[in-house]
Amino acid sequence: MKVFTEPDKLQKWAEGRRLAGKKIALVPTMGYLHAGHLSLIAAAKKKGADEIVVSIFVNPIQFGPKEDFARYPRDEKADLAKCRKAGATAVFFPTPENMYLKNHSVFVDEKLLGKTLCGARRPGHFRGVCTVVAKLFNLARPHFAVFGQKDYQQQAIIRRMVRDLNFDVEIVVAPIVREASGLAMSSRNVYLSAADREKALALSRVLFDLQKDIAEEEELDWRPRRTQIVRFLRESGLNVDYVEAVEADTLTPVESSLAKGNVVLLAVYCNGTRLIDNAVM
């Protein structure tokens, strides 16, 4: 497995592999890898990638000034071992200084899908995400890139960026990997105590209940249900950031009737840790 820290070295290597006719997959991550990340590598393998490039970069420009950039969990050694075991053929470990020169002044800013949900609560977040992903596309030269459904709004925005800026990269979206309890895997789960984890189960419980009800009823009245969900999350000891239902592609809010194919997205603070989860109905 190759390990790159210099952007231009990765780019040269990737261009060479492309010219040799190899299919390149990119799996962008912020590291502290868990089974959810490894499922993206597995999806890349299953799709027939010859080269699987995992990028591990805690991207400073997607964090707000009061967010957890400095304390975001990092473990380079364990991540390298996990990548090797999962079948990655290259890992890209850049430094912020290598990715953003002192006078870096060009950013990619999606203007529509990022106005709601996490985009509304985390100003500048998706601008940071789109900018780094555009750079990673230029560096790793992938034929396709794998993202997790866990960050539902992120994959929608990346797909829009690819469409609107004509990136020649196929976007593959892999399902959410959960712990046996139902808790969606996340690097930030390391911040949770045993009691916090118990509280956090309310998220998946809400989503599973909704899926069950939609499977039985086809549709349900969203407004009263939303009120109940907010109350249930609060009673479970969580601070609700948002509870929203949207159309799957456009992220247009569902106002009255929640139907099959809509997506319900939740964001909460659990003892100060921001957790997100979602499910397609």
Instruction: Produce one character per residue of 197-230: b if its CB has 16 or more CB atoms within 10 Å, e if not.
Output: eebbebbbebbeebeeebeeeeebebeebbeebb
Under rule CB under 6 A, residue 29 binds ligand AMP: yes
Q: Does 148 interact with ligand AMP (rule: CB under 6 A)?
A: yes
Among the candidate windows 15-23, 111-119, 185-193, 228-236, which touches ligand AMP by CB under 6 A? Answer: 185-193
Which of 139, 184, 243, 270 lies at the binding interface for ligand AMP (CB under 6 A)? 184
Which of 17, 37, 143, 160 is close enough to bind ligand AMP by CB under 6 A? 37
The nearer residue to ligand AMP, 129 or 258, going by C-beta atoms, is 129
**C-beta of 155: minimal distance to ligand AMP in Å?**
7
User: Amino acid letter at 155?
Assistant: Q
Q: Of 89 and 186, which has the nearer Cβ to ligand AMP? A: 186
Q: Is 88 in the site for ligand AMP (CB under 6 A)?
A: no
Minimum CB–partner distance for residue 26 and ligand AMP (Å)? 11
Beta bridge partners of 239: 269
Q: SS3 of 252, please?
A: coil
Residue 37 is a catalytic residue? yes
In the numeric block, which tokens belong to residue 16?
């060479």
- Cα-to-chain-centroid distance, residue 34: 13
* d(C-alpha 135, C-alpha 70), whole Å: 22
Sheet holding 239-246, edge to edge: 239-246, 263-270, 273-280
**Catalytic residue IDs:** 37
- The residues of the shown chain that bind ligand AMP, judged by CB under 6 A, are 29-30, 36-37, 39-40, 147-148, 150-151, 174, 176-177, 184-187
